[in-house]
Structure 1
Amino acid sequence: MKLIEFEDLPVTPWKNGGGVTRELYCHPAGASFDSFLWRVSIADVSQSGAFSSFAGVDRVITLLEGEGMDLVSDSGNHVLLSRLRPHRFRGEDQIAAQLEGGACQDFNLMLRRGAAAGEVQVWSVDQNLEQGCNLLFCVQGRWDVLTQDGEHVTLEPRQSLAWDQPPGKVSLRSLSAGSVLIGVNVNLK
């Protein structure tokens, strides 16, 4: 189990200058954009513009902060991201984002197609996970996390817990009203 402090993560500017990203976790550790199997990051989006292309990668994006982001594909499809609603798309799709009312922050899961499959879940009530998960991110409030092996951590806002292998049964307990937690489950093929 690894506790990750958001403030300790290095900030990396995007190639197009439209924002910055912070990598929460990458598997395998230290892998490049061409060799990761799965990756989780948080991006600050300061202006409208095109998404970077990631051929062969499935993506799940979840808006954390901001009034919304309209995603427009080259085929003309529109998806308006609203807060805490995960949206899946293919990394090679040509996507342009139009910010709705200013800067946004989003949570990103990237999965190498054919090597990893996964999902993002958002919880606001206590959970008992029979199979655990790979990563937890505390969006707001406080959460007690207890594994079947007796590991116990209290997550504060913007803290994460990550496991290379899910720890089996995990109990998640909200410690304050309005608490929100994101969970990432990944299966390597």
Structure 2
Amino acid sequence: MSRILRASDMQPQPWKNGMGITREIARFPTDAGNDDFVWSISVAEVNSASPFSTFPGIDRQIVLLDGGGFIMTLDGEQRHALTMPLVPFAFPGEAWVDVEMEGGATRDFNLMVRRTQAMGRVDVLTGPGSHVMPADGVLLYLAQGTADTLDGPLNAGDAWRPDTSPIELHEGAKALLACVTSRD
């Protein structure tokens, strides 16, 4: 099985609440559903002020990829402006999240981790240069530019399931590295 996942192979599917579109990149275990995955990674398209789906027991990290972004209101209290691209924001999946658009449509990267089983984070890598992948790196998403791996080249929107071999990010390239550590 190829460790490179091409953007063109990531098919759109409805959000859990049916109010938006997401493109799942990967999940573990691969045959898990929404109620039993350990981690899931996707890119969502936010085109309107629709509330987010809730995921009780899940820790979420969201990163604006492109577009004007939006203001998130969590449980009617905490507000967060997701308007700066490539800045991860963590929040609990059971939070009720209302959205106020700051412009047109946006795309965002999402890491969801079942908190009783694992902990997750999203690291931002920038090029040019070589980056060695950490042992807890489960997926690298190329947000901008181009890169080379031992498995082949990546273009913006492609993802790679890394081992500990390095990735070479070219000038202007930016990547999001999803890292997951088991709580065992």
| TM-score of the alignment, normalized to the shorter chain, above 0.5 | yes
Deviation at 1:153, TM superposition (A): 2.4
Q: Matches of 2:135 and 2:27 in 1, distance apart?
A: 20
Over 4 Å off, 4+ runs: none
2:146 corresponding residue in structure 1:
142
2:88 corresponding residue in structure 1:
86
Cα gap change, 1:16 to 1:33, in 2 (>3 Å): closer
Q: How many pairs were matched up?
A: 179
* SS of match in other structure, 1:84: coil
1:161 corresponding residue in structure 2:
160
Letter in structure 2 aligned against 1:141:
G
The TM-score with structure 2 as length reference comes to 0.90
Deviation at 1:18, TM superposition (A): 3.4
Letter in structure 1 aligned against 2:51:
A
Q: Matches of 2:30 and 2:12 in 1, distance apart?
A: 17
1:52-71 → structure 2 map (5 Å cutoff): 52-71=53-72
Q: Is the 8 A contact 1:25 1:162 kept in 2?
A: no
1:119 corresponding residue in structure 2:
121
1:180 to 171, 174, 180: 174
Give the gaps of 5 or more residues in structure 2.
none
* SS of match in other structure, 1:158: coil
1:128 corresponding residue in structure 2:
132
1:105 corresponding residue in structure 2:
107
Q: Is the 8 A contact 2:17 2:52 kept in 1?
A: no
> Identity percentage over the alignment?
33
Task: Render the CA deviation track for 1:2-26: whole Å, top value 9, x for unaligned.
Answer: 2111211221123555320111001
Cα gap change, 1:122 to 1:51, in 2 (>3 Å): same
Deviation at 1:140, TM superposition (A): 1.3
Give the gaps of 5 or more residues in structure 1.
146-150
Letter in structure 1 aligned against 2:174:
V
2:15 corresponding residue in structure 1:
14
